[in-house]
Amino acid sequence: MKKIDEYQGKKVLVMGFGISGINAAHLLVKLGANVTANDKATPKNNDIVDDLEADGIKVITGDNPISLANEGFDVVVKNPGIPYDNPLVAAFVKQGTTIITEAELGWQIFDGHLVSVTGSNGKTTTTTLTQLMIAENAKHQVKYAGNIGISFSKIAEDLGPDDTLVTELSSFQLLGAPTIHPHIAIITNIFSNHLDYHKTRENYINAKLNITRNQTKDDFLVINWDRDEWQKIAQRSQATIVPFSRLNKSHEGSYVEDGMIYWRGQEVMPTKDIRLIGPQNVENALAAIAAAKLSGVTNDAIKKVLTTFSGVRHRLQYVMEYQERLFYNDSKSTDIEATEVALQGFDRPVILLAGGLDRGYTFERLVPYFKKHVKAMIVFGECKDKMKDVGNQAGVPVVESENAITAVPEAWKLSEPGDVILLSPANASWDQFPSFEVRGDKFIEAVEELTGKKEQ
| Residue 92 predicted with pLDDT over 80 | yes
Residue 6 is predicted with a pLDDT of: 96
Residue 415 is predicted with a pLDDT of: 97
Asked if the structure places residue 400 within a domain, the reply is: yes
CA 174: distance to chain centroid?
Answer: 13
Minimum mean pLDDT among 6-15, 186-195, 378-387, 444-453: which range? 186-195
Q: Position 405: which residue type? A: I
Structural domain total, the chain = 3
Dmax (CA) for the chain in angstroms is 66
* DSSP H or E stretch at residue 100: strand 98-100
Strands 350-355 and 374-380: parallel
Tell me the Ramachandran region of residue 16: left when phi exceeds 0, alpha when psi lies from -120 to 50, beta otherwise. Answer: left
* Between residues 248 and 399, the one the model is more confident about: 399
CA distance 320 to 304: 23
Question: pLDDT tens across 272-286, in order?
Answer: 999 998 888 999 999
Average pLDDT rounded to a whole number, residues 55-62: 97
Ligand-binding annotation for 121, yes or no, is: yes
Report H helices in 36-117.
46-54, 87-95, 102-109
121 and 94 in a common domain = no
Domain encompassing residue 83: 11-100
| Residue 221 predicted with pLDDT over 90 | yes
Closest listed residue to residue 361, CA positions, set 381, 344, 378, 376: 381
> The domain spanning residue 31 has which CATH number?
3.40.50.720
* Between residues 232 and 279, the one the model is more confident about: 232
362 and 267 in a common domain = no
Ligand-binding annotation for 123, yes or no, is: yes
| Residue 33 predicted with pLDDT over 80 | yes
Ligand-binding annotation for 200, yes or no, is: no
Partnered with residue 240 across adjacent β-strands are 220
Mean pLDDT taken over the chain: 95
| Residue 194 predicted with pLDDT over 80 | no
Residue 337 is predicted with a pLDDT of: 87
Residue 361 is predicted with a pLDDT of: 86
255 and 325 in a common domain = no
Ligand-binding annotation for 125, yes or no, is: yes
100, 126, 143 — which closes off a domain? Answer: 100
pTM of the model as a whole: 0.82
8 A C-beta contact, residue 175 and residue 207: yes
Closest listed residue to residue 152, CA positions, set 120, 114, 187, 119: 114
